A and B are shown apart, each in its own frame.
Chain A
């Protein structure tokens, strides 16, 4: 049973590390501010979610599990706010996104 949990944790950590690495590559590779926010969002959601799931497998049922899940909940509530603030500030400084614009934008 211990072995199965360890393997599950390993798989979760592997997926999380992979998504953090790909997100970091995207941060360097993508063309402008707005596209780079997507890569950062990938680290925020995929990375943290799988790291926390992996850690929950290790703690089992205890108060630490609750604390881990609360950390996840708070990150999921706050990370879109930072993404939106970055994007909104860039738009207010009149930086227009690269690529096509469909219809009239605000």
Chain B
């Protein structure tokens, strides 16, 4: 089942990237996608971690929220760089996700919003570096943590 989904994803990518639709090239695409799926299956990497399809139903909603957040903190970071009011702070937050993929998504989301960077992690405790106490408060309110837990959908 998962192999079939991976095959469809790869084939869609091939069709979108190539742009030539004649029989020779499409059959070459099918062969190479099938070979990739075979290698992945032999390497046992087709699982929830390699192909996180349980994210998909709620992913678009989350991405919209993340883009809004990135835009806002871009503005705030630009303001801080121009003003020069830099008071860096380091603190730890707790992640409430279960799976590793969701934890990585949370850490990546923190890093992707300018002004906050995940510097270290141990089990489910992240060490976060923030440019300013305003950025730090954004992470400490745990709003993003709740969103990612909702995206994961295991609770």
Contact = CB atoms under 8 A, between A and B. Distances in A.
B125 interface: yes
Given A25-B81, A45-B74, A84 B89 contact: no
A4 to B, nearest CB: 22
A34 B129 contact: yes
Contact of B77 (A38, A70, A102): A38
Contacts of A32: 88
Contacts of A83: 111, 117
Interface string A74-106: 001101110110011011000001111111111
Contacts of B84: 29
A56 interface: no
A27 B136 CA distance: 20
Contacts of B129: 34, 37, 87, 97
Which DSSP category, helix, strand, loop or mixed, fits chain A's interface?
helix
Given A42-B77, A100-B89, A105-B91, A67 B114 contact: no
Contacts, number: 126
B142 interface: no
B120 A101 contact: no
B88 A98 contact: yes
Interface of A: 18-19, 22-23, 25-26, 29-32, 34-35, 37-39, 41-42, 45-46, 49, 63, 66-67, 70, 76-77, 79-81, 83-84, 87-88, 90-91, 97-106
Interface of B: 16-17, 19, 67, 70-71, 74, 77-78, 81-82, 84, 86-92, 107-109, 111-122, 125, 127, 129, 131, 136
